[in-house]
Structure 1
Amino acid sequence: MAVLKHIKSRNANYSDAIDYLLFQHDENTGKKILDESGRPILREAYYIDGLLCTPESFDKECEITNKIFRKNQKASDIKSHHYIISYDPTDVEECGLTGEKAQALSLALAKKIFPGYQALVVTHTDGHNNSGNIHTHIVINSVRKYTAERSPYMSQPHDHEAGYKHRATDKFTKYFKKEIMDMCQEHGLHQIDLLSPAEKKITDKEYRLQKSGQKKLDKINQEIIDSGLKPASEKFQTQKQYLRDAIDECAPVCKNFEEFQSVLFEKYQISVTDHRGRYSYLHPERNKRITERTLGTRYGKEHLKQVFLQKDPLSIIFVKSHLRLVVDLQANIKAMQNPAYANKVKITNLKQMANTIIYLQKHDIDNRTSLESAYAASFMQQQKAQDQVTNLSLQIKDLNKQIRYTGQYLTYKKVYATFLNSKNKGLYRKNHTSEIQAYEFARDWLNQNLSGNTIPSLKKLYEKKSSLQISLDAYKDILSDCKSQVLELDIVRHNVDSILQHQMPSYLKSHNTEL
């Protein structure tokens, strides 16, 4: 699985990039590793090529280009972009990937992705911390030397022209990742979907922070052990990882967001809010919240909502397909009048028949009885969900009445108490008729519907309503999915009938029910 990493550099000394690519460096300090004579040690194996430059003079040629176009003159300017393509370690044994092959693939890719740019393409076979995975570094000057053809990802009018700087936009990154995926698939290498957001998003900064933190913790723990004590913790956690672990533990035992919010705070002192459709988490040692995007999709609202719903037996995750009804040409007037339209409908019908067969195979439906059973089961699920929605809606409706009359009762309670203590009740009632009537109506309604129980506070009523509303929204989502599934199965039933009626001889239609 080749992955892509991007680093922007404001270092005006392009020689540093060459040194890093050619010589061994300490991963922790970033300094060159020296031999006994104090000379830098070359990397054990590497492959190097230059685009629009010679590798040895990459630094000088980039500086000349910058001077010609009067770019990269400020310290704040981005001087170069460093892209790293890391291949799956198993590609070596299972797919026959070598450093030479990786260099050839990456060089061809760099020529396609970075036309007009001066670039170094260097492949290492040692991997980070001697992990053994082959990876390629592509370092480009941020200024384009020659004009190139426009590409779909370019959004500015001069992006393709010489003298303009490289823009690492989201469109470009997606384009680059797509090309990497296509390259790996074409050459039989392992590959994951780079375009989908990561389930657990760990940046290079967090990765290095974890490594350095663990090293410091190990040193402190060793001192504690030497003193005859036992360390309290042996594993260093970044703040983001602390959040991930806490969410992974709390989410599976919660039924809704409110419970998740409560459990997460009680156990880990982590505050979570739902803002603009996304969750944000506050680490107990931070003042600024961490958004779900920085943690990964596994910790976002969409995923956790499904986790909460799994506590309910009716909860399902339904993926809608694109099945459509097969059109009966003999009953379609437009098709009978227009041969071109009829041909178009025939092609569409063939596609829908094929989709129907794929659907049946995917869901292990091989006869009409199984299809009808699946339809009946889905319809029953829909009815159960509908009953829950109806029941919850009625509860909320009754609760709204209770909230209304409780508020009305409390609002005019003081007025009614004054009326009871008034010396001239007739005059007071005449002056406050509407308030007293509203109080008496609310009091009578509450007495009748609460059966003599104590009137709950408005706060508790609103909390109950909020809980019911969350459940109602969840069941509405379930009901929507159930309806879609029932509709889909109904389309399949119709299409199966059409296939059997149009494709089978008449003397077999009434005897064969196999799909």
Structure 2
Amino acid sequence: MGGDRPLSFQERLRQTIDAVLEKRPADFEVFLIEMQARGYEIKRGKHLSFRTLGQEKFTRCREKTLGADYTEAAIRERIAGRRSAPVRRGGISKAPVQSVSLLIDIQEKIQSGKGPGFERWAKVHNLKAMARTLIYLQEQGLDRYDILTEKSAAATARFNSGSDRMKDLEAKLNANAALQKHIVDYSKTRQTYIDYRKAGYSKKFRSEHEAGILLHQAAKKAFDELGLTKIPSVKSLRAEYASLLEEKKKARLEYTQARSDMKEILVAKSNVDRFLGTDSHAQKREPDSQHR
């Protein structure tokens, strides 16, 4: 008969979660930021819950409501790569590209204060927030929706890259510190282990020096796992640690800036989507749906 049946809030939430997870957020907190940027309020509790514009009650992320792939635990597993995305019928709805000037659209709507999209948005936000968004778009030269979308994706990618770099540096620092400890332990317990071997691995000797023997064996095991043919000096490792620490400080500054940039543009995009999307975007799609 007419157009397709409107999606339920639950189905829209599932599609939005899938769309955000397809972008491979760095961690769960970034996932939540992305969900907020797409217009969802978030409530943390026994069950993670979301609510979007026009929805009265929050939707809980529990198996009986959204399915096993959309609980908080399942979402965390999907972010960590320990769980595959569910197979879904049909594709995920994507926001249409708006080629006309965003700035003109927004300015006209602010001046007129009319339209169902405007009225729904105004119940949650205010014109001052949209005015700030307009200034931001003007300053950044984001005068088209497709450019805003592209820049939002780029900002998210920069943040994810910075997050990965921070994790990599942290792992290297931890590995360096662990190796330093093993070298010190190995050196301190070397003579004890020589004496233990000379004693024919005596149980009595071991019981009297067990702590030192265990430390020596743990250090030797770590060296073997790392495939070390020559044990590096603690001095060289300390120099490497200091270098990594300096690199991490610089990376943290870039990471912090990337996070700030990402949050800023995602908030702007969220405001634009809620301010214009439910009205002008929907109207542009109506002719297509009427002729299906």
Q: Given the two structures, how large is their TM-score scaled by the length of structure 2?
A: 0.51
> What is the CA RMSD across the aligned residues, in angstroms?
3.6
The equivalent of 2:136 in structure 1 is 359
Distance 1:351 1:332, change over 3 A: farther
Q: Could you give the per-residue CA deviations for residues 96-118 of structure 1, whole angstroms, max 9, x where no partner exists?
A: xxxxxxxxxxxxxxxxxxxxxxx
Q: Please state how far the C-alpha of 1:462 moved relative to its aligned partner.
A: 2.0
1:190-201 equivalence runs, <5 A: none
The equivalent of 1:470 in structure 2 is 246
Match among 253, 263, 268 for residue 492 of structure 1: 268
1:95-494 equivalence runs, <5 A: 349-420=126-197, 427-449=204-226, 451-494=227-270
- Structure having the higher Rg: 1
Distance 1:402 1:508, change over 3 A: same
For the residue of structure 2 that corresponds to 1:412, the secondary structure is: helix
Give 5+ residue unaligned stretches, structure 2. Answer: 1-38, 42-51, 58-118, 288-292
Distance 1:498 1:371, change over 3 A: same
Q: Which has the higher helix share?
A: 2
Alpha-carbon distance in structure 2 between the residues aligned to 1:480 and 1:457: 34
Alpha-carbon distance in structure 1 between the residues aligned to 2:279 and 2:180: 62
Q: Please state how far the C-alpha of 1:474 moved relative to its aligned partner.
A: 2.2
Distance 1:510 1:419, change over 3 A: same
For the residue of structure 1 that corresponds to 2:193, the secondary structure is: helix
Distance 1:447 1:434, change over 3 A: same
Q: Which has the higher strand share?
A: 1
Aligned length: 177
Alpha-carbon distance in structure 1 between the residues aligned to 2:201 and 2:131: 86
Alpha-carbon distance in structure 1 between the residues aligned to 2:261 and 2:191: 55
Relative contact order (alpha carbons < 8 A, sep ≥ 6): 1 or 2 greater? 2
Q: Please state how far the C-alpha of 1:444 moved relative to its aligned partner.
A: 2.7
Q: Please state how far the C-alpha of 1:494 moved relative to its aligned partner.
A: 1.4
Q: Please state how far the C-alpha of 1:331 moved relative to its aligned partner.
A: 6.0
Distance 1:505 1:494, change over 3 A: closer
1:14-163 equivalence runs, <5 A: none
Tell whether the 8 Å contact from 2:186 to 2:219 is kept in structure 1 after alignment.
yes
The equivalent of 1:224 in structure 2 is none
- Percent of aligned pairs sharing the same letter: 21
Q: Which amino acid aligns with 1:493?
A: K
The equivalent of 2:71 in structure 1 is none
Distance 1:505 1:487, change over 3 A: closer
Q: Please state how far the C-alpha of 1:349 moved relative to its aligned partner.
A: 1.4
Could you tell which deviates more after superposition, 420-429 or 353-362?
A: 420-429
The equivalent of 1:55 in structure 2 is none
Q: Could you give the per-residue CA deviations for residues 251-306 of structure 1, whole angstroms, max 9, x where no partner exists?
A: xxxxxxxxxxxxxxxxxxxxxxxxxxxxxxxxxxxxxxxxxxxxxxxxxxxxxxxx
Q: Which amino acid aligns with 1:492?
A: A
Distance 1:326 1:444, change over 3 A: closer
Distance 1:378 1:409, change over 3 A: same
Q: Which amino acid aligns with 2:183?
A: T
Tell whether the 8 Å contact from 1:419 to 1:429 is kept in structure 2 after alignment.
yes
Could you tell which deviates more after superposition, 399-408 or 357-366?
A: 399-408
The equivalent of 1:285 in structure 2 is none
Q: Given the two structures, how large is their TM-score scaled by the length of structure 1?
A: 0.30
Q: Please state how far the C-alpha of 1:377 moved relative to its aligned partner.
A: 1.0
